[in-house]
């Protein structure tokens, strides 16, 4: 091979590799996006069935109930609509009633929201931005606690 | 009084930085050696004033000066002294000051250890660092002044309890030294472009500095992962959190830069590419700082946000990247590539390395910024979680591993497939055999991911060892560069082994236990003996006692805690961990449940989790060995630059 041909082959291989990687990255991104919905949107059937998504709001006062073993059930609200959350596991340290929480999970066949992960952020005075925005949307003027 | 002194020092540091950024640079273009000679004293003065400011802030912390807003927000009288000292960088303002401290320290280090570098070049390097320092000092003074006064408060709001840990003393300084350390390679690249001499010389000068910065960054990231593992409480070691990504991206680019510098130094190839990477690595450091400090991201590290700060850093980033790329565009055409290489050569291997690391960095960038973009363009609120990163990184890592296993054994310029097969046949066979056999030891079949991961790790490790054996020298005669290459690659193999095994074979259970009850996981019986209340310096705690047995053997007694801090009344989880080279046993308390003193408890079995960080340590050692290579010391004494051909003969 002449140096020129060699260089061409080299560049072609590199371009092919990067193109392959780009396709792979895009596909991975498409299939792994998790969208965020408010409880109101979930009630209006805007959220997908059976697919992972996130939902957030304030944890309703008095809604937290314990099930057998480490199961819990609680309600998140955007002060407009409530959504019941089912979760098996230990709640994060900063999870508390009347505090903000973001939950990742999916709607099962019977329309129950089953959480895989419950997030409450790492600072007592911190409200997740999504929750703040949700509250602003549904109740203008409300200040998150 | 002291805070005002600190504020004043900070202003003087800015003046010095601006002086350093302007005067020696001007002098170097107009042949005025007296102006050029200002570089070193100005760098020292910038450091001294920054340090004074930093010391003043520390003093305000230690003496509980609650008339300083930053102290009120990040400290309290009850806080133990150790955390008052480390708490200085526990929030935005102080951590920026730490950033500038790191930059000033690197500048002084360059002026002290840059012996072999011509005065004019050194002056330009220091000037570039002065300009960066001026930007950040201006940023601090305009938007994030840590010395701002408020009416005297009776008590502070305390340091975030998660930060009241030894990790805070280590992780941020290491990380920042790494981030900011890439500014040295960047400054050398800019100085070389300004001078129009992009020969092997700047590469030779910049290489050990890049190594050292990379060592700090590696330790910073590994340390952060370890800290998250035991302190965030739940045993995860990497969350693909945006801020973690912000440190991973410069690391990936920095790693690419290390390798590209090697090609440029030894073979005079990839010159333009190396300059671009030097710009890129530091730009990603700045981007990381922007992402973390502007509060645009939802993250475990996002404590406070202020859009004004974001705009400043974004503009600064745009200025730095824009002007250096412009300079690059003007100078790059001068960079004629000399020499050629065949498809099967170490050059090709290093090219593959660079390409893959770059794709990795951009994949991480895309995943990190996509939610921001989507939100800004009103396409919906999206999050990109770990599945994306794992899906993307696994095949890229596999490709990188293929290149790495062969990389060291490959010869420069041209290699023969038959020779390579002879050298690498055995390592490949051993790697594959290990990958298939080792999972048997864990039982539970032959998971594809375990085989893939172990095959990659084995191939890298055994391929590198095969190369080391063929050096035909006793280990104590190896050069620093030899050690660096071997340890760096082995380190990644060790980390990869840890990642694979802990991902595939970890076991975890969330259970409710009452005193006396036990739960069995991975052959270990965890018995909750009781939970009692105790008191710490500035917190109340529930302290559990958990006995771990295996058959008749008593393995450990663990004490997981649930703390509530007095000032912030914020609960935190302190895990009880029985560490081991081959497995960690990990228990964390959830919440009290029911009347009988029951608790929800998370129990985890984490095989080979220590290998994650052990590998990081090995990589860092490798980087340090490379930086200590004899030829750099010789360079410092004589200022000689060995021409690429001679370097090739002596080093490869």
Q: Which of B221-235, B380-394, B470-484, B625-639 has the lowest mean pLDDT?
A: B625-639
Q: How many CB atoms lie within 10 A of CB A82?
A: 15
pLDDT, residue B21, reads 95
Q: How far apart are CA A11 and CA A4, in angstroms?
A: 11
Q: What is the pLDDT of residues A44-58, one digit of tens each?
A: 988 888 888 988 888
Is residue A56 located within the same domain as residue A121? yes
**Residues B512-550, buried b or exposed e (16+ Cβ, 10 A)?**
bbeeeebbebbebebbbeebeeeeeebbebbbbbbebee
Interface of chain A toward chain B, CB-CB under 8 angstroms: 3, 6, 9-10, 14, 17-18, 21, 24-25, 28-29, 31-36, 54, 66, 69-70, 88-91, 93-94, 104, 121-124, 126, 128-130, 133
Q: Is B595 part of the contact surface with chain A (CB cutoff 8 Å)?
A: no
DSSP annotation string for B584-636: EEEEEEEEEETTTTEEEEEEEEEETTHHHHHHHHHHHHHHHHHHT-HHHHHHH
Terminal CA-CA length for chain A: 71
Q: How far apart are CA B525 and CA B199, in angstroms?
A: 64
pLDDT, residue B390, reads 92
Q: With CB atoms and an 8 Å threshold, state whether A89 touches B510.
A: yes
Please count the structural domains in chain A. Answer: 2
Specify whether the CB–CB gap between A61 and A46 falls below 8 A: no
A65 DSSP β-pair partners:
A73
Contacts of A91 in chain B (CB under 8 A): 590-591
pLDDT, residue B651, reads 37
Q: How confident is the model over B572-601, as a mean pLDDT? A: 90
> Which residues, 6+ apart, have CB-to-CB distance to B561 below 8 Å?
B534, B541, B542, B543, B544, B573, B574, B576, B589
Scan for tokens 């957030």, then name that residue: A56
pLDDT, residue A138, reads 60
> Domain with A71 in it: what CATH number?
2.40.50.140
Specify whether the CB–CB gap between B115 and B637 falls below 8 A: yes
Q: How many CB atoms lie within 10 A of CB B617?
A: 17
pLDDT, residue A128, reads 58
Specify whether the CB–CB gap between B585 and B554 falls below 8 A: no
pLDDT, residue B60, reads 97
Helix axes B346-376, B386-407, angle to 10 degrees: 170
Is residue A54 located within the same domain as residue A117? yes
> Which residues, 6+ apart, have CB-to-CB distance to B483 below 8 Å?
B622, B625, B626
- A145 occurs within a structural domain: no
Is residue A111 located within the same domain as residue A70? yes
Best interface-test mutation with A: which of B600, B601, B603, B604 has the largest number of A CBs within 10 A?
Answer: B600
Is residue A22 located within the same domain as residue A86? no
- Tokens for B269? 């190839």
Contacts of A24 in chain B (CB under 8 A): 392, 395
DSSP A92: P
- Tokens for B489? 């690659």
Q: What is the pLDDT of residues B8-36, one digit of tens each?
A: 999 999 999 999 999 999 999 998 999 99
Q: How confident is the model over B547-563, as a mean pLDDT? A: 94
- The Cβ-side half-sphere exposure at B339, using a 13 Å CA radius, reads 17
More confident residue, A130 or B615: B615
Q: How confident is the model over B522-550, as a mean pLDDT? A: 93
- Tokens for A132? 């703040």
Range of the domain at A43: 35-138
Q: What is the pLDDT of residues B479-530, one digit of tens each?
A: 889 999 999 999 999 999 999 999 999 999 999 999 999 999 999 999 999 9
Is residue A55 located within the same domain as residue A113? yes
Q: How confident is the model over B154-182, as a mean pLDDT? A: 91
Q: How confident is the model over B51-71, as a mean pLDDT? A: 96
- Report, in this order, helix, strand and coil percent for chain B, each rounded to 5: 65, 10, 25
> Across the interface, which of A25, A91, A123 has its CB nearest the CB of B591?
A91
The pTM score is 0.92
Measured between CA atoms, the residue of chain A closest to residue B512 is A69
**Burial class, A16, CB count within 10 angstroms (exposed 0-12 / middle 13-18 / buried 19+):** exposed
Q: How many CB atoms lie within 10 A of CB B178?
A: 26
Q: How far apart are CA B99 and CA B289, in angstroms?
A: 9
DSSP B306: -
Question: Is the pLDDT reported for residue B119 higher than 80?
Answer: yes
Q: How confident is the model over B94-110, as a mean pLDDT? A: 96
Specify whether the CB–CB gap between B564 and B570 falls below 8 A: yes
Quickly list H helices, B144-241.
166-195, 200-231
More confident residue, B298 or B429: B429
Is residue A117 located within the same domain as residue A82? yes
- A144 occurs within a structural domain: no
> Which residues, 6+ apart, have CB-to-CB distance to B479 below 8 Å?
B629, B630, B631, B651
- A114 occurs within a structural domain: yes
> Across the interface, which of B162, B355, B601 has its CB nearest the CB of A17?
B355
Is residue A41 located within the same domain as residue A100? yes
A57 DSSP β-pair partners:
A101
More confident residue, A10 or B450: B450
Rounded to the nearest integer, the mean pLDDT of chain B is: 89
- A93 occurs within a structural domain: yes
Strands A100-107 and A82-88: unpaired
Is residue A72 located within the same domain as residue A25? no
Q: Is B392 part of the contact surface with chain A (CB cutoff 8 Å)?
A: yes
- A82 occurs within a structural domain: yes
Instruction: Output the 3-class SS for B448-462.
Output: HHHHHHHHHHHHHHH
Q: What is the pLDDT of residues B234-248, one digit of tens each?
A: 788 998 988 889 999
Q: How far apart are CA A2 and CA A5, in angstroms?
A: 5
Is residue A22 located within the same domain as residue A56? no
A76 DSSP β-pair partners:
A59, A83
Is residue A75 located within the same domain as residue A19? no
Best interface-test mutation with B: which of A3, A29, A41, A116 has the largest number of B CBs within 10 A?
Answer: A29
> Across the interface, which of A89, A90, A123 has its CB nearest the CB of B160?
A123
Q: Which of B157, B122, B89, B101 is nearest to B567 (CA)?
A: B157
Is residue A115 located within the same domain as residue A64? yes
Is residue A29 located within the same domain as residue A60? no
Q: How far apart are CA B531 and CA B589, in angstroms?
A: 10
């Amino acid at each position: 091979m002449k140096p020129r041909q060699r260089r061409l082959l080299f560049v072609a291989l590199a371009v092919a590799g990067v193109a392959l990687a780009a396709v792979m990255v895009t596909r991975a991104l498409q299939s792994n996006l998790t969208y965020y919905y408010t409880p109101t949107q979930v009630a209006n059937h805007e959220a997908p069935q059976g697919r992972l998504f996130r939902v957030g709001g304030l944890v309703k006062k008095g809604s937290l109930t314990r099930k057998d073993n480490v199961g819990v059930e609680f309600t998140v609200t955007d002060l407009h609509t409530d959504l019941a959350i089912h979760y098996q596991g230990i709640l994060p340290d900063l999870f508390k009633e009347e505090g903000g929480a973001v939950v990742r999970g999916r709607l099962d066949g019977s329309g129950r929201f089953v959480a895989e992960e419950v997030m409450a952020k790492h600072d007592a005075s911190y409200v997740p931005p999504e929750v703040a925005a949700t509250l602003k949307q549904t109740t203008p003027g409300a200040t998150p606690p | 009084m002291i805070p005002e002194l600190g504020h004043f020092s900070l202003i003087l540091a800015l003046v010095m930085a601006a002086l350093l950024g302007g005067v020696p640079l001007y002098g170097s273009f107009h042949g005025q050696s007296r102006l050029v000679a200002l570089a070193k004293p100005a760098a020292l003065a910038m450091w001294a004033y920054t340090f004074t400011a930093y010391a003043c802030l520390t003093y305000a912390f230690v003496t509980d000066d609650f008339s300083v807003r930053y102290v009120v927000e990040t400290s309290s009288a009850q806080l133990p002294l150790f955390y008052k000292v480390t708490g200085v960088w526990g929030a935005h303002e102080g951590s920026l000051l730490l950033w500038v401290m790191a930059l000033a320290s690197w500048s002084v280090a360059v002026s002290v250890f840059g012996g072999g570098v011509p005065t004019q070049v050194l002056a330009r390097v220091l000037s570039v660092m002065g300009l960066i320092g001026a930007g950040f000092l201006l940023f601090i003074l305009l938007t994030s002044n840590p010395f701002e006064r408020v009416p005297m408060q009776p008590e502070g709001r305390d340091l975030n309890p998660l930060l009241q840990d030894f990790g805070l003393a280590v992780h941020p300084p290491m990380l920042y030294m790494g981030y900011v350390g890439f500014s040295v390679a960047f400054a050398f690249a800019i100085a070389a472009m300004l001078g129009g001499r992009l020969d092997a010389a700047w590469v030779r000068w910049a290489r050990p500095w890049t190594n050292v910065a990379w060592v700090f960054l590696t330790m910073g990231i590994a340390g952060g992962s370890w800290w998250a593992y035991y302190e965030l409480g739940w045993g995860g070691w990497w969350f693909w959190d945006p801020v973690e990504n912000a440190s991973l991206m410069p690391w990936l680019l920095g790693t690419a830069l290390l390798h590209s510098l090697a090609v440029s130094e030894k073979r005079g190839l990839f010159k333009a590419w190396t300059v671009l990477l030097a710009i890129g690595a530091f730009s990603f450091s700045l981007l990381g700082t922007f992402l973390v400090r502007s509060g645009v991201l939802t993250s475990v590290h996002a404590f406070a946000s202020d859009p004004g700060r974001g705009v400043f850093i974004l503009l600064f980033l745009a200025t730095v990247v824009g002007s250096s790329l412009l300079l690059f565009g003007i100078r790059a055409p001068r960079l004629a590539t000399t020499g050629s290489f065949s498809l099967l050569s170490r050059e090709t291997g290093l090219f593959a390395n660079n390409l893959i690391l770059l794709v990795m960095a951009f994949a991480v960038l895309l995943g990190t910024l996509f939610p921001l973009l989507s939100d800004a363009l009103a396409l919906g609120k999206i999050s990109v979680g770990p599945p994306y990163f794992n899906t993307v990184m696994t095949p890229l890592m596999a490709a990188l591993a293929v290149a790495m296993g062969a990389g060291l054994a490959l010869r420069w310029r041209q290699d023969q497939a038959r020779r390579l097969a002879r050298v690498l046949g055995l390592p490949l066979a051993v790697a594959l055999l290990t990958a298939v056999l080792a999972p048997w030891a864990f039982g539970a079949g032959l998971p594809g991911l375990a085989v893939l991961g172990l095959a990659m790790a084995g191939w890298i490790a055994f391929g590198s060892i095969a190369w080391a054996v063929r050096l035909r020298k006793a280990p104590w005669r190896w050069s620093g560069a030899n050690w660096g290459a071997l340890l760096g690659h082995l380190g990644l193999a060790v980390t990869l082994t840890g990642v694979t095994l802990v991902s595939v074979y970890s076991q975890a259970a969330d259970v409710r236990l009452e005193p006396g009850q036990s739960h069995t996981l991975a052959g270990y019986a965890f018995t909750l003996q009781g939970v009692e209340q105790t008191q710490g310096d500035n917190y109340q705690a529930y302290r559990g006692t958990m006995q771990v047995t295996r058959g008749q053997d008593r393995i450990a007694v663990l004490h997981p805690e649930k703390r509530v801090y007095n000032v912030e009344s914020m609960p935190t989880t302190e895990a009880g961990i029985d560490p081991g080279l081959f497995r960690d046993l990990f228990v964390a308390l959830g919440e009290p449940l029911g009347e009988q003193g029951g608790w929800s408890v998370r129990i985890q079995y984490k095989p080979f989790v220590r290998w994650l960080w052990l590998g990081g340590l090995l990589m860092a050692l490798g980087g340090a060995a490379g930086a200590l290579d004899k030829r750099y010391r010789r360079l410092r004494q004589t200022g000689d630059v060995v021409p690429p051909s001679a370097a090739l003969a002596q080093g490869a």
